[in-house]
Amino acid sequence: MSLALAHPQLEAIADACRRHHVARMDVFGLVLRPDYRPGESDIDLLVEFHPLDPASLYKAYFALLNDLLRGLLRTSI
């Protein structure tokens, strides 16, 4: 089973990427394979941010992480 996202989830991810200065986000690893197990397997993301100063990058990274966790897993850090 591979990860399938509903349109509202995809929109929430796109909105979070815009809010937090993401230039590009790629998914890799087990989540792309047919033996992916939701709730058991991890989701690997490679994120490239637009140029930011170090403090802004730090804030953007953790804000994006929290938005993704709340939006996809219904949890937070």
Residues 6+ apart with CB under 8 A from 26: 45, 46
Q: According to the model, what pLDDT value does residue 53 have?
A: 98
Mean pLDDT estimate for the chain: 86
Whether residue 71 has pLDDT greater than 70: yes
Q: Which residues of 5-44 are buried (b: 16+ CB within 10 A; e: fewer)?
A: eeeeeeebbeebbeebbbeebeeeebbeeeebeeeeeebe
Give the domain ranges of the chain.
Answer: 7-73
Residue 31 CA to its chain's centroid (Å): 12
Q: According to the model, what pLDDT value does residue 35 have?
A: 87
**pLDDT by residue (tens digit) across 31-56?**
888 888 877 888 889 999 999 999 99
